[in-house]
Amino acid sequence: MKGNDIFERIETKYLMDGETCERFRKETADLIETDRYGDSKILNIYFDNDTYELVRRSMEKPVYKEKLRLRTYGIPTDDSPAFIEIKKKYDGIVYKRRVELPYREAFDYLTTGWKKNFRPESIQNSQICREIDYFLKLYRPEPKFFIGYDRIATYSREDPDLRLTFDRNLRFRQLGCDLRRGDKGILYDGGKNVLLEIKAAGAYPLWLSSILDELKIYPVSFSKYGSIYRQTYQNIPPASYMNVCNTGCRCEIPYEMPAQPVAI
């Protein structure tokens, strides 16, 4: 197995416009450091079943919820590193378990392999693989949405475990849910806002709390998958379902309105 990770932390989200984000970055310039990934593309395939059970349950804000996604950093080739992630949230604490595989193996395993009782040899005996197998057999999910964004990942200079990420240009598509086909999609909210996520093991340092308070930046409840699902089925007419990127050009992958899920 090339690698696996287990994370346990509190994640708090803050939605801000571009101007406020710039002010926040200026105020924290001497206090946070950009990590080794710098400014990168985060590309995900979110999996769900035919009734979109996972996202609908998440939107109900239960005490416990979970989701499955396949993630890469940048547009992958067959051999690029990819991460299968099960993300769980219980009573406000986020638990993320993930395993690293070459993209083609991960994609094939999640889309068709598990149905034939096939799994990549490198993860067959791992506990995380057994959890993924159980998840797949329980929900029988399929690729439902591509969701991508551009991320600047940073950490506190005094406490590297305190992480701050800035996500912009949130975009999505429903057909062509294979990350090898690129990262173009419909821009959520026109690309106007930036999502700040603060990942911490405990209380914020005073300097961070003070800056958030000074700039009137307040926590929000915001799920990328949930928000995009809601927008897709409530606000976008079928006639508008074309793959439009942020320059306004029409891209190669057309869109079709999928079968209407259970009403929300």
pLDDT, tens digit, for every residue of 165-206? 999 999 999 989 999 999 999 999 888 999 999 999 889 999
255 assigned to some structural domain = no
Question: Is 236 part of a structural domain of the chain?
Answer: yes
Tell me whether residue 206 is in a domain: yes
Please give the pLDDT value at position 260: 37
139: nearest Cα among 86, 189, 184:
86
Q: Give the mean pLDDT of 230-246.
A: 53
The predicted model scores a pTM of 0.83
135 membership: H or E segment, kind and range: helix 127-139
Kindly tell me if the per-residue pLDDT of 249 is higher than 80: no
In the chain, the number of structural domains is 1
pLDDT tens-digit readout, 204-215: 999 999 999 999
User: CA-to-CA distance for 163 and 72, rounded, in angstroms?
Assistant: 19
Residue 178 is assigned to a structural domain of this protein? yes
pLDDT confidence tier of residue 10, bands split at 50, 70 and 90: confident
Residue with the bigger pLDDT between 165 and 63: it is 165
**Cα gap 58→225, rounded to integer Å:** 9
Whose tokens are 């990127």? That residue is: 245
Non-local CB neighbours of 222 within 8 Å, separated by 6+ positions: 13, 15, 195
Residue 8, pLDDT score: 66
CATH value at residue 68: 3.20.100.30
Residue 85 lies in a domain: yes
Which residues contact residue 182 at a Cβ distance below 8 angstroms, ignoring those fewer than 6 apart?
A: 75, 176, 251, 252, 253
Q: Which residues lie across from 105 on neighbouring strands? A: none
Residue that wins the pLDDT comparison between 94 and 212: 212
Give residue 187's domain range.
3-240
| Mean pLDDT (whole number) for 109-118 | 88
Sorted by sequence, the CB contacts under 8 Å of residue 225 that are 6+ apart come out as 46, 55, 58, 67, 145, 147
Specify if 213 maps to a domain: yes
- 3-class SS of residue 167: strand
Q: Which residues of 55-94 are buried (b: 16+ CB within 10 A; e: fewer)?
A: bbebbeeeeebbbbbbbbbeebeeebbbbbbbbbbeeeee
Return the number of other C-beta atoms located less than 10 Å from residue 208's C-beta.
Answer: 20
pLDDT by residue (tens digit) across 20-43?
999 999 999 999 999 987 789 999
Q: Sorting pLDDT into bands at 50, 70 and 90, what band is 6?
A: low
Residue 9: pLDDT above 90?
A: no
What's the whole-number average pLDDT of the chain?
85
pLDDT of amino acid 89: 85
pLDDT above 60: residue 60: yes
Residue 245 lies in a domain: no
Residue 211 has which token pair?
């800056």
Q: Indicate the SS3 state at residue 96.
A: strand
pLDDT tens, residue by residue, 115-167:
888 888 878 778 888 899 999 999 999 999 999 999 999 999 999 999 999 99
Is residue 160 in a domain? Answer: yes
Return the number of other C-beta atoms located less than 10 Å from residue 131's C-beta: 15
- Higher-confidence residue of 244 and 193: namely 193
Does residue 5 register a pLDDT over 70?
A: no
